[in-house]
Amino acid sequence: MDDAATAPDPHVTPITPTAPVAAVTHGGRAKCLQRLVRLEMPLPRTVALSFDTVHGIAAGRMPDIAALVAGFHAGALLCVRPSSGDPDWGGPGAILNIGMNEARCRALAPRLGEAAARALYLRFVESYAVHVARLDPDSFEGRDATHPDALAAALAAYEDEAEEPFPQDPVVQLSEVLRSMARAWEGTTARLLRQARGAPADAGLGLVVQEMALGLGPGECGSGVLQLVDPETGLPQITGRYLSQSQGREALEHGLASLYLGRDPRGPSLEELAPQAFEDLKRHAARMRERLREEMQIEFTIEDGGVHILDGIRVPRSARAGLRIAVRLAEDGVISRAEAVMRIEPRAVSELLHRQVAPGAPRAVIGRGVAASPGAASGRIVFTAADAQASAARDEPCILVRRETTPEDIRGMHAAAAVLTERGGMTSHAAVIGRGLGLPCVVGASRIRFHFKRRQIVDTEGRVFREGDVITVDGTTGEILAGSPAMVEAALDDAFTTLMDWADAARDIDIRANADTPADAQTARNFAAQGIGLCRTEHMFFEADRLTPMREMIFADSPADRQEALALLLPMQRGDFVELFRIMEGMPVCIRLFDPPLHEFLPSDRAGLRDLAEALDMAVSDVTRRVEAMGEYNPMLGLRGVRLGITVPEIYDMQARAIFEATLEASRDGAPVVPEIMLPLVSARREVELVRARIDAVAAAVRTERGRDFTYRLGVMVETPRACLRAGDIAQHVHFLSFGTNDLTQMTYGLSRDDAGRFMQAYVAEGVFSEDPFHVLDHEGVGELVSIGAERARRAKPGITLSICGEHGGNPESIAFCRAAGMDYVSCSPFRVPVARLAAAQLAI
């Protein structure tokens, strides 16, 4: 089969260095095989059939198969393998030994031995019967190939079921194999399966027909696979499998690991059996790595000591190995640093930051919900925050299961290994706190039935899991699993750091972190965030020693009483800010003033009300009445954010003072601090004017008292649709605007962020929403409001700083939107900072 004999037909193309073979017309395998031919690898003769040809075959238009067969060596056995656009899309399995018949069997016997020749024939009859003639597999599988009558019995069974003798003509055999593979690809099941894996509806299948190197016979013969890296770690190590006297991927299936010296106690290694072949394979693999610019797995056959390379595929790899492979390829100069950065899927990075369920581990799924915070953890079920703390005190990992979490659960969440809630969506309390703490979390697991009184959960099959039973929360996939599957640890190694450094060099948008506590801020620094983009100060008030003065402040009858309670809180807040400023060492820190409705700080159960009555020296009935009076029908749309700042201004005054005093203190012994103060839930310019006047007054007072100067930057959180529309007006009074896309999404859709989890899965499944809009920014609706806001703000005040601090700040698609809208930075949970750094770098490359 030389070039001259073959050139013209682009659809049935012998693979030569110059043949018109492309991945888009013939599939990835065909293209890769051509690359191997160009590298002069010892490849058996191979012909590629294009997508069009295979589609034609399925429709009954068979090309000239006799001519195709004639192109190979006379009497050669052939194999056919699929070549689609992406190996992940699946496809029919390979069929080997086409051309085997009575005559070939007799002809091969002297060389291979009678038994081996018959075994080859038997294997072909079996696979042809099942996969091509579609006969009953029970009649053809599990026969003992060494039995002298096995072949005759299989041929008889074939004739019996197919009502015709087994075809002897290689042309007929090959035609039927091609027809069955082409039709299998076009079948409905196969189509739906590959579409679920991301294949386009019209994805084509190419086929490659290859002359077989047998792997059987005299001298050292066999088959195997080899690669130069460990697929789990990506570290350089020759790994693979080899099995003497075998064909195809048998070596893999039979699990023999005898590649090189000292590796396998069960028998001699390939290195001992065929040292030259082993050397050749290593050389070929190294060459492929360099020329194909990728770590490749070689599928090979050895015939009488000589190497044949049948195929080369990208080494299948874990997320961790993928990253190390990319970095090593760049360090060796095989690819550029930019290409290494581009090769890593940002989401894969988030896998590296957390413990995960081991990729191959069995998963006993008992339910699903929103994958709210990545990573996986196993532990005993507990139903209250107090039990979670008790469990932690016993050093026993636990899973905190709640209907939804509230600020009162914070300590329990800290103590738990993971959190599971019945309700909630991507921006519900449990989700936001879970991501902040790096705690695996699944929310809105609405298909599991939660019985909080009986202290059990029940899955759809009626299986009951009680308090104390061990389950696993997989916050990466959103699955809840029974028991504790094997895990892989987080992998923040040198390769990770190197790749992140390269990403930062390419990036053109800043990445900050949402950090509320010193621990968050430290995590943010560890992940190289460029500042804090959102510090939600209310989280600081849930500490046990602060809750009582906080409640006293809420219950105060007069401004004077309120001042008294706030005076207790002031030094604590100042201490918080000093610590944050010190950890961030002069980087920007954006502090959002108090945001939530006050009643979130009040107890809701009897015991809590009694405790509060005791602490305040009031009657329980009075406390209960006061708590009830503060209730609101729609607290998220009620008295919160800047509305509190205007109606109960003492809180913001206290916070502003704490910030300014901390600024002076932290600037004394470190880099000068310029704090950023942000007002939440603004919808009108006048709100900003009123609050700004008071904050300026506090700043002036602190300057005078301390006799020292400082500056600060004031900003507004744009999280109501009206603030977007009036951004031009608002911008004139502030240094920066930060889009709070959690509330903005909630308000644009009129969709409660805490209840969305109940129906989000159904909405996405029905295609109402293409994605959960609390997870991926809705470009069309919410995005339009953001664009309008950004444009009006810029027009009114050209130098204004713009950013996003909703949870979308850590989502790659949303980062692309923000960058295109000209934002200066995005801010996201500390554990998402590396994902954001990589995603942003890829946008700039």
Handedness of CA 196, 198, 199, 202 (dihedral sign): positive
Q: Which is nearer to ligand PEP, 392 or 529 (CB)?
A: 529
The tokens describing 298, both together, are 């070689």
Binding flag, residue 743, Mg ion (CB under 5 A): yes
Q: Render 125-168 in DSSP notation, one character per residue.
A: HHHIIIIIS---GGGTSS--TTSTTHHHHHHHHHHHHHSSPPP-
User: Which member of 429, 539, 735, 775 is catalytic?
Assistant: 429
Binding flag, residue 373, ligand PEP (CB under 6 A): no
Q: Which is nearer to ligand PEP, 32 or 534 (CB)?
A: 534
Task: Report how many residues bind Mg ion under the rule CB under 5 A.
Answer: 3
Of residues 561-600, which lie at the interface with ligand PEP (CB under 6 A)?
595
Of residues 707-726, which lie at the interface with ligand PEP (CB under 6 A)?
719
Is 741 among the annotated ligand-binding positions? yes
* Helices 559-584 and 518-526: angle between axes, nearest 10 degrees: 20
C-alpha span between 775 and 274 (Å, rounded) = 55
| Residues ≥6 apart with Cβ < 8 Å to 643 | 681, 687
Is 449 among the annotated ligand-binding positions? no
- Give the number of other CB atoms < 10 A from CB of residue 418: 27
| Partner that binds at residue 536, options Mg ion, ligand PEP, none, CB closer than 5 to 8 Å by kind | ligand PEP
Please state whether beta strands 589-592 and 532-536 pair in parallel, antiparallel, or not at all (unpaired). Answer: parallel
Binds ligand PEP by CB under 6 A, chosen from 805, 823, 833, 839: 805
Q: Are the C-beta atoms of residues 542 and 407 closer than 8 Å to each other? A: yes
- The stretch among 232-240, 389-397, 498-506, 735-743 that binds ligand PEP (CB under 6 A) is 735-743
Instruction: Provide, rounded to whole angstroms, the least separation between the CB of residue 636 and ligand PEP.
Output: 9
C-alpha span between 133 and 129 (Å, rounded) = 5
Q: Render 481-543 in DSSP notation, one character per residue.
A: EES---EE-----HHHHHHHHHHHHH--SEEEEE--SHHHHHHHHHTT-SSEEEEEGGGGGGS
| Partner that binds at residue 778, options Mg ion, ligand PEP, none, CB closer than 5 to 8 Å by kind | none
Is 18 among the annotated ligand-binding positions? no
| Partner that binds at residue 806, options ligand PEP, Mg ion, none, CB closer than 5 to 8 Å by kind | ligand PEP
- C-alpha dihedral (681, 687, 688, 694), degrees to nearest 10: -120
Is 592 among the annotated ligand-binding positions? yes
| Residues ≥6 apart with Cβ < 8 Å to 841 | 341, 502, 503, 504, 505, 506, 507
- The stretch among 175-183, 599-607, 734-742, 781-789 that binds Mg ion (CB under 5 A) is 734-742
Nearest to 20 by CA among 147, 656, 632, 12: 12
Could you say which DSSP state residue 754 is in? T
Binding flag, residue 743, ligand PEP (CB under 6 A): yes
Task: Count how many residues are written for the chain.
Answer: 845
Instruction: Provide, rounded to whole angstroms, the least separation between the CB of residue 547 and ligand PEP.
Output: 19
The reply to whether 429 belongs to the active site is: yes
Q: Render 241-303 in DSSP notation, one character per residue.
A: EEEET--TTHHHHTT-B--STTS-TTS--HHHH-HHHHHHHHHHHHHHHHHHTS-EEEEEEEE
Of residues 531-550, which lie at the interface with ligand PEP (CB under 6 A)?
534, 536
Binding flag, residue 806, ligand PEP (CB under 6 A): yes
Binding flag, residue 297, ligand PEP (CB under 6 A): no
Instruction: Provide, rounded to whole angstroms, the least separation between the CB of residue 807 and Mg ion.
Output: 10
Q: Which is nearer to Mg ion, 719 or 807 (CB)?
A: 719
Q: Which residue bears the tokens 């386009």?
A: 200
- The stretch among 31-39, 196-204, 338-346, 737-745 that binds ligand PEP (CB under 6 A) is 737-745
Is 444 among the annotated ligand-binding positions? no
Is 687 among the annotated ligand-binding positions? no
Instruction: Provide, rounded to whole angstroms, the least separation between the CB of residue 811 and ligand PEP.
Output: 13
C-alpha span between 599 and 554 (Å, rounded) = 8
- C-alpha dihedral (581, 583, 589, 595), degrees to nearest 10: -90
Q: Which is nearer to Mg ion, 656 or 744 (CB)?
A: 744
Q: Are the C-beta atoms of residues 404 and 379 closer than 8 Å to each other? A: no
The reply to whether 441 belongs to the active site is: no
Q: Are the C-beta atoms of residues 379 and 342 closer than 8 Å to each other? A: no
Q: Which is nearer to Mg ion, 440 or 740 (CB)?
A: 740
Instruction: Provide, rounded to whole angstroms, the least separation between the CB of residue 752 and ligand PEP.
Output: 12
Q: Which residue minimizes CB distance to Mg ion?
A: 743
- The stretch among 497-505, 580-588, 616-624, 741-749 that binds ligand PEP (CB under 6 A) is 741-749
What are the residue numbers of the active site?
429, 805
Q: Which residues are annotated as a binding site for Mg(2+)?
A: 719, 743
Q: Which residues are annotated as a binding site for substrate?
A: 536, 592, 719, 740-743
List contacts with Mg ion (CB under 5 A).
719, 740, 743
List contacts with ligand PEP (CB under 6 A).
427, 432, 534, 536, 595, 719, 740-743, 805-806
